[in-house]
Structure 1
């Protein structure tokens, strides 16, 4: 068990040459006591969060993880101890001033219903005295960052958005003043599983680009190992049971408490650490909305492809029609289809498999920063990568109770759901 990420580990997930815009955070002996007779909600916690890393707080209900996060921006005042952000003890700072220097995201975005998307995002910059043109430019920049078209969304109200769109706007608002620290409290807990998966992938992509210091509270260990550079497993009183990389949390739990919290199937959960960027990608036949269906059809037939990919001017996928659809079409789509089988480069291979279930092509479109198209992955390639990873000599040793046999893919005849199972059986 460790309360501080190692120097080697601080480089985890940080691409070489990318500028870190986040700052380190140190909680030193922090305690929160509600009444003299009750046990502390947080009991003398010492924890260091490296600059530019995503750190996940997990643990059972009531263990103090949310209280700990809220003490960082002093929505909850600590009873004792110090909180040092970028070398400055913020426990003596004005609380409102501190919070304007941090982003904060809650479930469903926490948007003000009477304000437009643009007004919600621009609220903190306006408080900081930014001029109107600078705020407007920042709003459009952030909407692009969270994959929302500014022209289409800036003047809408929250009630006109889906749950996933509201959450995207919430993230954009938290980033509006370019804070070095972003705090997120169960940010994806109020949306459906498919939307949650896409929001998680977008969060990975955004962090790869911005390199903020991000603290996320979640109850979901799968989400923790997917998003986190580091995972903190708390017990009651915010006592740290393990602070480690996702791989080590899964493969080498520090004690029975962590092993029980991770649950059964930890050996298979490690497969979820494999990312789309590890998989070889195939090319697609790319066209623009201005082309005719006949031109697109000719390109597909000449290349021997069954589909063409329509990209916008920012190289983002609009549609992925088949040659049969092209033969019936009068023009190519100009509006982005909502249910395209899209995965980010930071998505797990298991998420990629799930996405392929809704794909007519039996494949998924891979997108990078700001949703730009980077290639296609198919089922066979993903499964081959998973098997190679499982068999690799450098993989963490499987915990007791798992096996190192090959993995197979099973599809439910009733629902069509894909599950990854070991050779011995037992769906993940």
Structure 2
């Protein structure tokens, strides 16, 4: 995860011997699960279908009532709280956002604030703030209906709605599973950018291990009955899977998955010649020729990239207009190097345009930079091949966890506490 100076607004979550036993079932869907989720972290639940991931997620906000055990959020046992009151304090996102089709975007986002008795002015300001946060222009989107949005836009609105009342916890049940790969990558990047600003506690269910590696501070690998096989950082799960089950779940190509651990914001970006709509094309061309670069990046009034112009294109123009090029190779600084390389290959381009928070232009990344980073990572991995990889969270006592934190800086780099668990459900 990227470094951020923003304060953590998420809440710690403790599942203490949580069990869900359905009538007539020989085995529990979730059997005595104990799991601690640190405040402000993203924890990914992965495992085969039917293993209890979604059941566990839904028990946190009591859409499914646990048969026994405690669920403690910021020190409060929420199993003793009114369920409706609890759910208004927890954001929940499902596939396609789960928007109400007969309500506008603004009305969808405003649902919980209205329930909490916020006044109209406060709700309107919050709707606009959240649409800005998820990179949707309020002037364009607040009065649209879900059917007028793309799948990716619907999902962004779903995230905005879940954040409407500023809840400390956000639960996400395979939120990006129904969109195409390119939109999925952009939504993942957007979530990381949002998390860098809001620092909530996010618990997400996914079937995609690559997604878990990309998004998670911590990954919980479940087997049948929500047996917790391994609960660890993505780096350590890839380097040291707990057993054959985890190895098989990761699948072949674990070495390639290491490429998803390095983000665009961790490498040096290339500066670019930029232009604004309304500028003389000849002025931009002069700057471009003096730089030795081949293309200029056109930015809008909020410094968001809208298109690239080559020297030949500039020579044919008089004034730079505000035309948007949807095919421009674009990645977030939260994207992985693997994402960036994919984007360049799909667009047949040697460079991609990089954006940061609120889609603001950051610079360019090129194939050479990625290849150098991969080479350095491979060299480092070879040099450290005999070094201990640290925590493998079987039944680990607290002291061992503290020692692992001291020995391994990955938890500090993420700005998150080390999670603890019993290592299995009983």
Q: What is the TM-score of this pair, normalised by structure 2?
A: 0.87
CA apart distance, 1:154:
1.2
Please report how far the alpha carbon of residue 191 of structure 1 lies from its aligned counterpart in structure 2 after TM superposition: 0.3
Output the CA distance in 2 between the equivalents of 1:151 and 1:275.
Answer: 32
Aligned match of 1:181:
169
Q: Contact 2:281–2:317 (CA<8 Å) still a contact in 1? A: yes
Measure the CA separation in 1 of the matches of 2:303 and 2:20. 49
Distance in structure 2 (CA, Å) of the matches to 1:144 and 1:309: 23
Q: What SS does the corresponding residue of 2:309 show, helix, strand or coil?
A: coil
1:251 counterpart = 2:251: no
Per the alignment, in what secondary structure is the counterpart of residue 35 of structure 2?
A: strand
Unaligned residue ranges in structure 2 (runs of 5+): 387-426
Q: For residue 249 of structure 2, what is the aligned residue in structure 1?
A: 261
SS for the counterpart of 1:357 is: helix
Task: Mark the runs of 5 or more structure 1 residues left unpaired by the alignment.
Answer: 1-12, 399-428
Deviation at 1:209, TM superposition (A): 1.6
Report the Cα distance in structure 2 between the residues aligned to 1:148 and 1:328, rounded to whole angstroms. 33
Within 2, Cα distance between the matches of 1:195 and 1:67? 27
When residues 51 and 396 of structure 1 are mapped into structure 2, their CA distance, relative to the original with a 3 A threshold, is: farther
Rate the CA distance shift 1:185–1:327 in 2: closer, same or farther, 3 A. Answer: same
Match of 2:97 in 1: 109
State the shift of 1:129 in Å. 1.3
- SS of 1:237's partner is helix
Q: Equivalent residue for 2:215?
A: 227
Q: Superposition RMSD on alpha carbons, in Å?
A: 1.8
Deviates more, 1:101-110 or 1:265-274: 265-274
The higher-RCO structure (CA 8 Å, 6+ apart) is 2
1:288 corresponds, among 276, 281, 292, to 276
Are 1:18 and 2:12 counterparts?
no
- How many angstroms does 1:100 deviate by? 0.8
- State the 1:295 CA deviation: 2.7
Alignment partners' CA distance in 2, 1:99 and 1:395: 49
TM-aligned CA deviation for residue 333 of structure 1: 3.7
1:349 aligns with 2:337: yes
Q: Using the TM superposition, give the Cα deviation of residue 335 of structure 1 relative to its aligned residue in structure 2, in angstroms.
A: 5.1
Shifted more, 316-325 versus 241-250: the winner is 316-325
Please say if residues 53 and 213 of structure 1, whose CA atoms lie closer than 8 Å, have aligned partners that are also in contact: yes
2:329 and 2:349 in contact (8 A); partners too: no
Deviation, structure 1 residue 210: 1.2
- What are the superposed Cα offsets for residues 156-177 of structure 1, whole Å, 9 maximum, x if unpaired? 1111111111111111111111
Call closer, same or farther: CA 1:395–1:109 in 2, change over 3 Å.
Answer: farther
Distance apart, 1:361 and its partner CA? 4.7
Q: Say whether residues 1:172 and 2:160 are aligned partners.
A: yes
Q: What is the CA distance between 1:331 and its match in structure 2?
A: 4.0
Aligned residue for 1:157?
145
Paired position in structure 1 for 2:178: 190
CA gap 1:227/1:257 in 2 versus in 1, 3 angstroms: same
Deviation per CA, 1:323-355, whole angstroms, max 9, x where unpaired?
222233454342543333221122110100011
Q: What is the distance in 1 between the residues matched to 2:305 and 2:383?
A: 35
Residue 59 of structure 1 pairs with residue 47 of structure 2: yes
2: CA distance between counterparts of 1:346 and 1:396?
A: 26
Alignment partners' CA distance in 1, 2:124 and 2:383:
48
Q: Is the 8 A contact 2:344 2:351 kept in 1?
A: yes
More helix by share: 2
CA contact (8 A) 2:4 2:196 kept: no
Q: Check the 8 A contact 1:365/1:377 in 2, yes or no.
A: yes
Whole-angstrom distance in 2 between the partners of 1:335 and 1:74: 48
Equivalent-residue separation in structure 2 for 1:73 and 1:134 (angstroms)? 26
State the SS of the aligned residue for 1:319: strand
- 1:28 equivalent to 2:16? Answer yes
Alpha-carbon shift at residue 127 of structure 1 (Å): 1.4
Pairwise CA distance, 1:359: 4.2
Note closer, same or farther for the CA distance 1:331–1:159 as it changes in structure 2 (3 Å cut).
farther
Residue range with higher mean Cα deviation, 259-268 or 320-329: 320-329
Q: 2:63 aligns with which of 69, 72, 75?
A: 75
The separation in 1 between residues aligned to 2:384 and 2:257, in whole angstroms, is: 12
Question: For residues 55 and 366 of structure 1, what CA distance do their matches in structure 2 show?
Answer: 26
Tell whether the 8 Å contact from 1:121 to 1:173 is kept in structure 2 after alignment. yes
State the partner residue of 2:404: none
- TM-superposed CA distance for 1:16, in Å, is 6.1
TM-score, normalised relative to structure 1: 0.87
Aligned with 2:295: secondary structure? coil
- Provide the C-alpha distance between the structure 2 equivalents of 1:14 and 1:322, rounded to a whole number of angstroms: 32
C-alpha contact 1:285 1:299 (8 A) present in aligned 2: yes
Q: Which residue of 2 aligns with 1:314?
A: 302
**Contact 1:41/1:67 (8 A) holds in 2:** yes
Deviation at 1:299, TM superposition (A): 2.3
